[in-house]
């Protein structure tokens, strides 16, 4: 652990440890559901092509699912797969009652329109929460009952960590930096539902630093290495760093070494923030844990079983 991490250890939101706890609860719930209802949640993960990062993500998701007692099936398709071939696989998985969750790993090769594929997934099995039915349910606050939204995994995990650290979020000033469909927008929806006052900032926002400095909760999801500086952060704020950026991190032994950094300058931020997620070991592990939670939720809803509350 670096000196700074040791000095400010109580400020670190340990996403890895939080995710381990959540995964243990998911594993216990899966065991109970199997015994009580004879139901084994299952997840189909579809990977098209050989993008190395996607291969790692898919492998990690499969392993995590199996460790929680969820059946995980990989469907690996050639990089030259046509859109029609992929849609045919999605249709087969939609029709298979033993498959409860479907995840098509993004990005897809250029010949395939990701929106067409996401649209084709049965919303009840859309464990990524990207289908317009699920984004619509999230936007309209349909969060409980058999037709509740399946919520995108990354913002879901961020909200869990914030509530765990801060308790009731109502009335807090939240700034979400980034407005993508998979992180920024659903994050803003979840924080609005938690009764925060939410600002969504993006590449056209004027005086970004001043906007960020207003935030009691700052969620950075821009994909720009260490863009958020220490003096952009209100003293005591909770900072959630979603960014995963691969950058050179040369050492004496290995001048070509690469490493991961977030969208926040961690060393500067931890001296100011009240709480902060590290990269790696913050949001990333929670994203996978929430995928498992969504799979169990989807399996329960499809089988008339009351879904656990995570
Ligand atoms: P996108 O590229 O889809 O969106 C980035 C957003 O950041 C856009 O809204 C963009 O604004 C905004 N932005 C970009 N540059 C600037 C800038 N200089 N100033 C202000 N705003 C800016 O990214 P994602 O949302 O998919 O991902 C964001 C980051 O999170 C990435 O690093 C990604 O790897 C990581 N990620 C991590 C996950 C995890 O599990 N930890 C999961 C998903 C993503 P505009 O809309 O105006 O272009």
pLDDT of residue 1: 64
Contact 268, 235 (CB under 8 A): no
Distance of alpha carbon 231 from the chain centroid? 27
Domain boundaries, the chain: 3-14+154-286, 35-143+288-299
Structure tokens at 252: 């004496």
Task: Please state, rounded to an integer, the average pLDDT across all residues of the chain.
Answer: 97
Same topology, domains 3-14+154-286 and 35-143+288-299? Answer is yes
The two tokens of residue 267 are 């060393």
Q: What is the pLDDT of residue 131?
A: 98
Query: Which residue has the CA at smallest separation from atom 39 of ligand 1?
Result: 284
Q: Residue for token digits 């092509």?
A: 49
User: CA dist 232 to 197, 271, 289, Å?
Assistant: 18, 12, 30
Q: What is the pLDDT of residue 2?
A: 76
Read off φ and ψ for residue 258, nearest 5 degrees.
Answer: -110, 155
Which of the residues 126, 128, 216, 265 is marked catalytic? 128
Q: What is the mean pLDDT of residues 174-203?
A: 98
Residue nearest to atom 1 of ligand 1 (CA): 180
Q: CB of 203 closer than 6 A to ligand 1?
A: yes
Strand duo 197-201 + 42-48: pairing: unpaired
Token pair for residue 46?
């579809």
Indicate if 128 belongs to the active site.
yes
- Fold category of 3-14+154-286 in CATH: Rossmann fold (3.40.50)
246 lines ligand 1 (CB under 6 A): no
Tokens read off for 104: 């098509």
State yes or no: is 111 an active-site residue: no
pTM over 0.85? The answer is yes
Would the CB of 182 count as within 6 Å of ligand 1?
yes
- Quick one: how far is CA 130 from the chain centroid? 12
* 245-268 pLDDT tens trace: 999 999 999 999 999 999 999 999
Atom 20 of ligand 1, nearest CA residue? 203
Distances (CA, A) of 149 to 2, 124, 187: 40, 9, 14
Fold exhibited by the domain 35-143+288-299: Rossmann fold (3.40.50)
- Model confidence over 85-106: pLDDT tens digits? 999 999 999 999 999 999 999 9
Q: What pLDDT, in 10s, does the model give residues 20-66?
A: 999 999 999 999 999 999 999 999 999 999 999 999 999 999 999 99
């Amino acid at each position: 652990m670096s000196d700074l991490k040791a000095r400010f250890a109580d400020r670190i939101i340990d996403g890895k440890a939080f995710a381990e706890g959540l995964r243990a609860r998911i594993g216990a719930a899966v065991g109970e559901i199997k015994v009580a209802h004879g139901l084994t949640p299952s997840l189909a993960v579809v990977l098209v092509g050989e993008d190395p990062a996607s291969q790692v993500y898919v492998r990690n998701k499969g392993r995590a699912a199996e460790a929680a007692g969820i059946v995980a099936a990989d469907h690996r398709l050639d990089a030259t797969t046509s859109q029609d071939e992929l849609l045919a696989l999605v249709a087969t998985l939609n029709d298979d009652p033993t498959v409860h969750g479907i995840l098509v790993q993004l990005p897809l090769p250029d010949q395939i329109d990701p929106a067409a594929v996401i649209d084709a997934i049965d919303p009840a099995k859309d464990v990524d929460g990207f289908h317009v039915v699920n984004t619509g349910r999230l936007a309209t606050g349909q969060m409980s009952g058999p037709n509740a939204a399946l919520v995108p995994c990354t913002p879901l995990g961020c909200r869990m960590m914030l509530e765990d650290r801060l308790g009731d979020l109502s009335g807090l000033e939240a700034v979400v930096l980034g407005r993508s469909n998979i992180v920024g927008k659903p994050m803003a929806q979840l924080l609005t539902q938690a009764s925060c006052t939410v600002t969504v900032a993006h590449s056209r926002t004027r005086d970004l630093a001043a906007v960020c400095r207003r935030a009691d909760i700052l969620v950075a999801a821009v994909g720009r290495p260490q863009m958020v500086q220490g003096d952009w952060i209100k003293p005591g704020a909770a900072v959630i760093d979603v960014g995963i950026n691969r950058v050179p991190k040369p050492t004496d032994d290995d001048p070509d070494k690469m490493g991961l950094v977030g969208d926040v300058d961690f060393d500067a931020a931890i001296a100011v923030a009240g709480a902060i997620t590290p990269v790696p070991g913050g949001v990333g592990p929670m994203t996978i844990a929430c995928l498992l939670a969504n799979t169990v939720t989807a399996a329960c809803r499809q089988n008339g079983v009351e879904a656990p509350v995570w």
